Amino acid sequence: MSVAVSRTDDGCRLHDGSTVVIIGGGPGGAACAIKLLQQADALSLRLRVVIFEGKDFGVHANQCVGVLSPPIEEVLARELDLHLPPALIKRQIFGYRLHGVRENVLLTGHGAHAGELEHGRATYAVERAHFDRFLLDQARELGAEVVEARVTGIEFVRAADLDEVRVYSESLYEKADVVVGAFGLDEAMLSVFEDVTARSGGRGFERPSKWLKSYLTTIETSARFQTEKLGHIVHAFLLPTSCPRIEFGAITPKGDHILVNIAGEHVTSRDLDQFLQLAEVQALLPGFDAGAINYYEGRFPSSPARRPFGHRYLLVGDATGWLRPFKGKGINTAIITGIRAAEVMLEHGVSERALQNYRRACTDMRGDYHYGVLVRRLMLVGARHFLDPMIDVGKVDPLMYDALFDAVSGHDTYRNIIKRSLKPRLVRKVAARLIRGVKRHRAHRAKRMPDLNVRRMTVRDIDQVLRLDEKITGKPHAAYYESKAAAYISRAPDYCLVAEHRAIIVGFVLGDVRGWEFASELSGWLEIIGVDPDYHGQGVSRALMDELFEKFRRAGVAVVNTMVNWNDGDLIDYFRANGFDRGEYVNLVKRFDEEEQG
Ligand SMILES: Cc1cc2nc3c(=O)[nH]c(=O)nc-3n(C[C@H](O)[C@H](O)[C@H](O)COP(=O)(O)OP(=O)(O)OC[C@H]3O[C@@H](n4cnc5c(N)ncnc54)[C@H](O)[C@@H]3O)c2cc1C
């Protein structure tokens, strides 16, 4: 039973027999209950935790896309000793495709590995109701009492010998030492809290003053369609030109259905209708009956609440408004604020002064707010002009690529993204793309020098080619290069070429036509190209590539692949100037050396 406590400092500490009432059993409320019960157990403290939840997660769901992004797995494991059951995961998300007006780019994370399953860096799509039920069941198992009823009122009673919270619901009445508002953006509860916390004369809680509205719909489809069309990628659309009210739209594969959602300060359900009709959106969806879709409405807070804690109360999750504008990661915020609230209550108590520590414990979450607002404003004003140039630069510049990935996935704070990427070099590149237009930045073609002859490579050329390679790399060649070059010539003689100037080999290229591997279509592969440094700028590589591409065309291939080190900006620029763009494949690496050390 809950005990009414006297108005001493000690009375504001949680003690044996204290009751904590949590209003809302979403991720914020459930995480808070789990942490409270685990930590109380460690302190040998008998704590009653009562969660009021109005929804039955077997039937109802909180509106959400259900993307769990890092570091959620790590937070659950480290802070709550919880591991996501595999059955909960509908699909692992490996990356995002960011769509601008004309350009788009596949963003798969640093070093091109967005998801490392069970290493805390993976992103998952889950069914939100299943996730909420999982967390609430964990709280229940630890001893939380879950009351399936909506709270209707709260009263803070402070009299000479009384200092307690009274909580009224559709069924039970509870007396508590502290109340945690984990009710998200429930209008009725926001009003109740604003009202009761202002009653003591001072200024009380004030709800977040700004929102982004969101509409979502689900489209049923086969897993096969998703594998072929979307794979494990979320498609993100920023400010689509023909739907001016939409700030952000997304298409998320969920295994047995696809979830489409839009968000913006002023969006309506009609904007979702329009978004679903965009050609680039329809290209990713199966056929559907536009007249028969279901609409779900939701909102994200986009500004912080005022005074989200006070004497014997605090708020967690959405109700605090401590979310990053644009990429909310609201579930993470809810869980983390829930955990920190529990820690502060147990460590410092539940008086207004004690709960100041809650604000301090969440400084990192609040610190990014102004940077997020800045990024959002910049995007609203200029995205239609500079998003395409940024995407274009991102395709060939790792710094911009990472900045785009981090902004879209929410892997890093806006503060860090701005600090890392606001470099004169990047600004110049984006400005140049903006001024010259995205497609016109190709390097000028060097004029081909006279007397340059491109012909097939023969085994007799191998010595000269390897000497040229040594001159280019400055390193002696490994012995196996000779047999490798010979193997290329015998396997794909048409695609191994040398460029000669007055009987001297000044350049070479080794290519091949292959398919099947990596499930790729039959394609041309440019394996190695080298040009004598004394002949740079004389059109040698261009002549070699022109001849090679002509042969590829004659072989009937439509695509040419090559591989370069992502950090070699000059080489990327060089290939870009010759018409190459960033492709769809991601190179995955397994390191034996690290494995052996580990
Ligand atoms: C369209 C949309 C898509 C989103 N997609 C994502 C996403 O993919 N990933 C992500 O991380 N975040 C996403 N979010 C944000 C995320 O849903 C929220 O930030 C998160 O759910 C907040 O958790 P919470 O615990 O604070 O509140 P909620 O999840 O809203 O939980 C509050 C709970 O309180 C209960 N409740 C309310 N009033 C009462 C009452 N009076 N009595 C008893 N119970 C009550 C409600 O039934 C509810 O279960 C999305 C939001 C929207 C609107």
Same domain, 170 and 235: no
Residue 475 has pLDDT above 70, yes or no: yes
For the segment 417-432, the average pLDDT, to the nearest whole number, is 88
User: Treating both helix axes as pointing N-terminal to C-terminal, what angle do 462-473 and 480-491 enclose, rounded to 10 degrees?
Assistant: 120
Kindly state the average pLDDT of the residues 85-100. Answer: 90
278 and 137 together in one domain: no
Q: Look at residue 442 and tell me if it is in a domain.
A: no
User: Which atom of ligand 1 lies closest to the CA of 296?
Assistant: 1
Q: Are 287 and 344 in a shared domain?
A: no
The pLDDT score that the predictor gives to residue 115 is 46
Q: What is the pLDDT at residue 8?
A: 42
DSSP assignment of 289-305 equals -GGG---EEEEEE-SPP
pLDDT confidence of 2, banded at 50, 70, 90? very low
What is the number of domains present in the chain? 3
Question: Within a domain: residue 74?
Answer: no
pLDDT: which is higher, 445 or 306: 306
What local confidence, expressed as pLDDT, does residue 231 receive?
A: 84
Q: Residue 561: CB partners within 8 Å, gap ≥ 6?
A: 520, 523, 524, 525, 526, 583, 585
* Mean pLDDT of the chain, nearest integer: 87
Domain assignment present for residue 263? The answer is yes
pLDDT given for residue 6 in this prediction: 38
Q: Could you tell me the end-to-end alpha-carbon distance of the chain, in angstroms, rounded to an integer?
A: 51
**Are 317 and 202 part of one and the same domain?**
yes
Test site for ligand 1: of 65, 180, 315, most ligand atoms within 8 A of the Cβ: 65
Q: Name the domain boundary from 286, 301, 316.
A: 301
- The verdict on 157 and 25 lying in the same domain is yes
For residue 109, what pLDDT is reported?
A: 67
| Distance of CA 26 from the midpoint of ligand 1 (Å) | 6
Give the pLDDT confidence score for residue 366 in this predicted structure.
82
Contact by Cβ (8 Å): 366, 336 = no
CA of 337 to the centre of ligand 1 (A): 13
Rounded to the nearest angstrom, the distance between the alpha carbon of 255 and the centre of ligand 1 is 22
What predicted TM-score, i.e. pTM, was given to this entire model?
A: 0.82
Please give the pLDDT value at position 113.
44
Q: What is the CATH number of the domain that holds 524?
A: 3.40.630.30
Mean pLDDT calculated for residue range 310-337: 88
The Cα-based distances of 386 to 58, 100, 394, 493, 577 in angstroms read: 45, 9, 12, 45, 21
Does one domain contain both 243 and 155?
no
Residue 315: partners with Cβ closer than 8 Å, 6 or more residues away? 180, 181, 182, 193, 205, 305, 308, 309
More confident residue, 24 or 226: 24
> Looking at residue 440, what is its pLDDT?
45
- When mean pLDDT is compared across 25-39, 142-156, 229-243, 272-286, the lowest value belongs to 229-243
What was the pLDDT predicted at 85?
94
- 204 lies in which domain range? 10-66+127-208+306-367
Q: What's the mean pLDDT in 479-500? A: 87
CATH number at 315 reads 3.50.50.60
Atom nearest to 317 CA in ligand 1:
26
Percentage of the chain lying above the pLDDT 70 cut: 91
Are 347 and 468 in a shared domain? no
108-134: average pLDDT:
72
Residue of 488 and 477 predicted with greater confidence: 488
Question: Is the distance from CB of 237 to CB of 99 less than 8 angstroms?
Answer: yes
For range 473-491, the mean pLDDT: 82
Q: How far is the CA of 460 from the centre of ligand 1 (A)?
A: 71
Residue 166 Cα to ligand 1 middle (Å) = 24
Share of residues in the chain with pLDDT > 90 (%): 53
| Atom of ligand 1 minimally distant from the CA of 29 | 25
Instruction: Tell me the average pLDDT across 196-225.
Output: 90
Token pair for residue 562? 């090559």
Compare 259 and 564 and report the one with higher pLDDT.
259
143 and 39, same domain (yes or no): yes
Residue 465 three-state SS: helix
Residue 530: φ, ψ to 5° = -145, 140
Residue 198 and residue 318 in one domain: yes
- Tell whether 182 and 153 lie within a shared domain: yes
Q: Between vectors from CA 186 to CA 184 and to CA 189, what angle results, nearest 5°?
A: 105
Same domain as 543, residue 531: yes
Do 142 and 190 sit in the same domain of this protein? Answer: yes
In a domain, 499, yes or no: yes
pLDDT of 4 > 60? The answer is: no
- Is 531 a domain residue? yes
Q: Which residues line ligand 1 (CB under 6 A)?
A: 23-29, 52-55, 62-67, 150-151, 182-184, 186, 189, 214, 216, 261, 298-300, 317-318, 328-332, 334
| pLDDT at 168 > cutoff 60 | yes
Nearest atom, ligand 1, residue 27 CA:
25
pLDDT in tens, 346-388: 999 999 999 999 999 998 888 888 888 888 888 888 877 889 9
Q: What is the mean pLDDT of residues 584-591?
A: 77
